[in-house]
Amino acid sequence: MCGIAGGTRLTSLNSLTDNQLINMLGRIKHRGPDESGIYSSNDVALGSVRLSIIDIESGQQPLSNSNQNIWITFNGEIFNYIELREELQQKGYRFKTQSDTEVIVVLYEEYGINFISKLNGQFAIAIWDKRTKELLLIRDRVGIRPLFYIQKNNELYFASEIKGLLEHPDIEANISPQSLSQIFTFWTCLRPNTIFKDIYELPPGHYMIFSKSQIKIKAYWELDFPKENNYANLSFEEAIGNFTEILADAVKIRLRADVPVAAYLSGGIDSTVTTSLIREVAPEMLQTFSVGFMDKEYDETEYQNLASDYYSTKHTGIKINSADIAEIFPEVVWHSETPILRTSPAPMYLLSKKVRDSNIKVVITGEGADEMLAGYNIFKESKIRRFWANQPGSKIRPLLLKKLYPYISQISEANSAFLKFFFGYKLTETDSPIYSHILRWNNGNQIKKYFSKDLINELNGYSPIEDVISQIGKKIDGYDHLAKAQWLETNIFMSGYLLSSQGDRMAMANSVEGRYPFLDYRLIEFCNSLEPDFKLKGLDEKYLLKKMAKGRIPDKILNRPKQAYRAPIQNSFAGTKAPPYINELFDIHNIKNSGLFDSKKSIDLFKKIQSDTISSETENMALTALLSTGLIVQQFQNKGRFENNNILKNCRIIKD
C-alpha cells in the first residue's frame, strides 16, 4: 500500500520539478511512511511513498520491466498476484522481485491495456510507457483506492490525495458551487467532480491514457445486473454454496501479506462472518479491533465482545465519547478532503490510530455486504413506500416504517400523520429510476436553505437530482426495483463516501490498509446475478448471508436487530466543552468571508442546537455540513491547515 503522485513533462521541462514532486509526496507521507522513490525523465516524473506489506525487502517503487521501457508507481494490492506471476513465468518471463507491483508491469508488457481485467485487487496505478510516450492511469473496479488528477498547461498531474496535488505551485483549491450542491444532496460529488474546481477523480472501473495528442478516459468494468426475471438459474441452496465458496476465497487471498493482518469487529453480521472465515483459514492471525461509544445509543460493545469471546481472538476495543469526536473532527475533514454530513468517519479515524499504535498495518473489514446483499434500511424503506403507494391514503401502511428506525425516537414514536409527512415525498412516482433514493436526497436538500444568496445565484437553478437522472439515462432500464436501488447506492454513495471518508482516508491517515472481501469483484458479480428475494426476502435483509452464517456465528448476533453505524453529532459540537474552533467557524465574519452560507440562518441553527435538548436528524446533518465545509475553506482554500513539514529523507531518485 502506498501513496502515489506524478505528472508529465511533455510540453515543458519546467512543468514538474523533482523538488515539487518530493513536496507532493511529502504531503501524503502518511499513506506510505516506510520509504519513498521517484523515477524522473524528460517526459515524466513518477513518485511513491510506500507502506511495505508485500516483498518488504525488494518491492521498492517506482519499478520497471526488464527493458526499462515501462515504469510503474502503484497504490494498492493485487490479491491474485501469485497466480498471475505463475501464468507469466510459464510464458518465459523472469522476475527480479517477489512483489505484486512487478507482476503488473509484466502483465502490461504481455497483454497491453487488456491486462486490467486479470487483476483482482484494490488499486490506483500509474504506468509510463516510454515506447509510446503515454501515461496510463487506472483505478480499481469500485473505487477502493483514490486517484485524483488535474490538467494544467497541457500537462497532467496526479496524486492519491488532493492535498498532494495542491503542493504544486500552479494548482489552487477553489470551492465548486455545483459540487457543494451535489455533496449536500448525495453526501458526495458526482464523478469525476471533486469539491474543488478543475480537480477531478478518475472514476472507479476506468482508465485514462494521456499523451501529447490525446486524453482518453474509458470504462473497463461497470456494475451490472440482469434484466428482470433473467437471474442466475440457481436454487437457494446452490446460491448459498457458491456464495460461501467465493467469499471464503476472497478472505483467503486477502490474508496474503508479509506483515500481520487483523480484522475489525463491528458487532454486526458482516464483520463477524469475515472473522469466522479468517479463523478457518489462519487462526493464528486472529487479532481483532473494535470501536464503541460511551453513549449507549450508539454503542455495540456487547456484540463485539461476544464475537471476540466466541472466536477467542486477541481483541482490542476502544471506547470514545462525544468530546473525542469534536477534538479530532478537523483532522478527519483534512483527510476526507471534502465536506461531510456525518461524524461517522471520526471513530474510524481513532480506531485505525489504535490499530497502527498496535503495530498492525492491515485490517480486514466487512464493508460492501450491505450494498451487495441489500442490508441498508433504504432498500426496505423503498419496498415499504412502494407497498404504501398502492394505497396512498392508508393510515396503516406507513406505520411499517417505524420498524426500520427504532434508534431514532422521532420516527419510532411517530404517528401516521408525521410518517406521511416525512416519508410521503413523491410517494406515488414509483416509475422514477431514482425512486429508492429520492426521499433521502430530498431530505439532504433541506440543508441547502443555509446557502448564501450569492451561492444560490451562482448555481443559477442547478439541480443535482436532475443532473444524476440525466447521467443515468437508460443504464438501469429493465432492472428490478431492488437492483436499481443497489446500483444507485453502490455507484454514488459507496465509493464516493463510504469507501472514501469512512474507508481509505481514515485508515490511511494512520498508515493502515483496509481490505474488503465482500468487494471482491467475483462476489459482486455473483450477488448481482441473484434474484432479489435471495437478498431481501420480505423485509429480511441480507437473507442469503444470514442463512450462510447460521451455525457459523453466535445466534445473538445473527438475530439481533439491524443497527445502523452512527456517531454523536449534537453532543459533540454543542455545549460549553465544545472546542474553540467551532465558535470560530460560526463567527459571523468567517461565515460572510467564505461567501457560501447565509450568516443569520447558520448562526441561528448553531444557537438552536446549543440550546435544545434534542435536535432533528436534519439539523444535526446541517450543522455537520456547515462545520466541515468551513474547515475545508480554512484548510484548503485559505491554506490555513499547516506547513508541509513532511520532508522526505533518503528519497530514492532514478534518473533516466
pLDDT band at 655 (very low <50, low <70, confident <90, very high): very high
Long-range contacts of 251-255 (CB under 8 A, 24+ apart): 251/277, 251/278, 251/281, 251/364, 251/517, 252/277, 252/281, 253/79, 253/80, 253/120, 254/79, 254/364, 254/515, 254/516, 254/517, 255/281, 255/282, 255/285, 255/364
Asked if residue 187 and residue 114 are part of one domain, the reply reads yes
pLDDT band at 615 (very low <50, low <70, confident <90, very high): confident
Residue that the C-alpha cell 487488456 belongs to: 114
> Average pLDDT for residues 238-256, to the nearest whole number?
97
| Domain CATH number, residue 335 | 3.40.50.620
**pLDDT attached to residue 238:** 98
Domain end call among 177, 193, 222: 222
Domain residues for the domain of 615 are: 570-637
- Torsion sign, CA atoms 514, 519, 523, 527: positive
Alpha-carbon span 422 to 413, nearest angstrom: 13
Do 264 and 197 belong to one domain?
no
Q: Assess whether 2 carries a catalytic annotation.
A: yes
189-207: pLDDT as tens digits: 999 999 999 999 999 999 9
> Please, which pLDDT band fits residue 39 given cuts at 50, 70 and 90?
very high
CB 206, CB 146: distance < 8 Å? no
DSSP at 561: P
What per-residue confidence (pLDDT) applies to 55? 67
Would you say the C-alpha torsion 593, 594, 596, 602 has a positive or negative sign? negative
pLDDT, tens digit (0-9, with 9 covering 90-100), for 94-142: 999 999 999 999 999 999 999 999 999 999 999 999 999 999 999 999 9
Regarding whether 290 and 174 lie in a shared domain, the answer is no
158 and 301: one domain? no
Same domain, 52 and 24: yes
pLDDT bin (cut points 50, 70, 90) of residue 643 is low
Structure confidence at residue 54 (pLDDT): 74
Average pLDDT over residues 230-234: 97
Shared domain for 154 and 268, answered yes or no, is no
> How many CA atoms within 13 Å lie on the side-chain side of 645?
3
Task: Tell me: pLDDT of 50 over 90.
Answer: no
Same domain? For 528 and 611 the reply is no
Distance of CA 396 to the CA centre of its chain: 38
Mark whether 36 and 147 lie in a shared domain: yes
Domain contains 420: no
Please determine, for residue 645, whether its predicted confidence score (pLDDT) is greater than 80.
no
Average pLDDT (633-656) is 79
As given in the structure block, the three cell numbers for residue 135 are 501515461
pLDDT of residue 641: 62
Q: What percent of the chain has pLDDT over 70?
A: 98
Question: In CATH, what number is assigned to the domain containing residue 75?
Answer: 3.60.20.10
Q: How high is the mean pLDDT of the chain?
A: 93
Shared-domain flag, residues 574 and 550: no
Residue 564 lies in a domain: no
3-state secondary structure 179-238: HHHHHHHHCCCCCCECCECCCEECCCCEEEEECCCCEEEEECCCCCCCCCCCCCCCCHHH
Task: Give φ, ψ of 447 to 5 degrees.
Answer: -80, -10
Between the alpha carbon of residue 650 and those of residues 21, 63, 164, 480, the distances in Å are: 14, 17, 19, 56
Closest alpha carbon to 113 in 224, 223, 221: 221
Confidence band of 576 (pLDDT split at 50, 70, 90): confident
Lowest mean pLDDT among 72-81, 450-459, 577-586, 642-651: 642-651
Residue 297 lies inside a defined structural domain of this protein? yes
Domain count across the chain: 3
204 and 124 part of one domain: yes
| pLDDT, mean of residues 404-409 | 78
CA distance 5 to 461: 37
Q: Is residue 449 in a domain? A: no
The per-residue pLDDT for range 317-371, each reduced to its tens digit, is 999 999 999 999 999 999 999 999 999 999 999 999 999 999 999 999 999 999 9
Strand pairing class (362-364; 513-515): parallel
Provide the edge-to-edge strand list for the sheet that holds 513-515. Answer: 314-320, 287-293, 261-264, 362-364, 513-515
What's the confidence (pLDDT) of residue 409? 75
558, 592, 609: which is the final residue of a domain?
A: 558
- Asked if residue 292 belongs to a domain, the reply is yes
Residue ranges of E strands in 516-610: none
Q: Which three cell numbers stand for residue 641?
A: 491547515
- Indicate the pTM of the whole model: 0.96
- State whether 576 and 507 are in the same domain: no
Q: What pLDDT, on a 0 to 100 scale, did the predictor assign at position 538?
A: 95
Among candidates 653, 635, 650, which has minimal Cα distance to 162?
Answer: 635
Q: Is residue 59 part of a domain?
A: yes
Among residues 163, 364, 162, the alpha carbon closest in space to that of 277 is found at 364
Q: Which of 196, 222, 248 is the last residue of a domain?
A: 222
Cell of 495: 465509493
- pLDDT grade, residue 642 (50/70/90)? low
Who has greater pLDDT, 158 or 57? Answer: 158
Residue 405 domain-assigned (yes or no): no
Q: Looking at the structure, do residues 53 and 141 belong to the same domain, yes or no? A: yes
Lowest mean pLDDT across 295-304, 399-408, 495-504? 399-408
CA distances from 467 to 267, 430, 441, 496 (A): 38, 19, 13, 16
Does the residue 518 lie in any domain? Answer: yes
Residue 285 in this model has a pLDDT that exceeds 80: no
The pLDDT-based confidence of 412 (bands split at 50, 70, 90) is confident
Judge if the upstream peptide bond of residue 62 is cis by omega within 30 degrees of 0: yes
Catalytic residue among 2, 189, 527, 651, which?
A: 2
Which pLDDT value is given to residue 434? 97
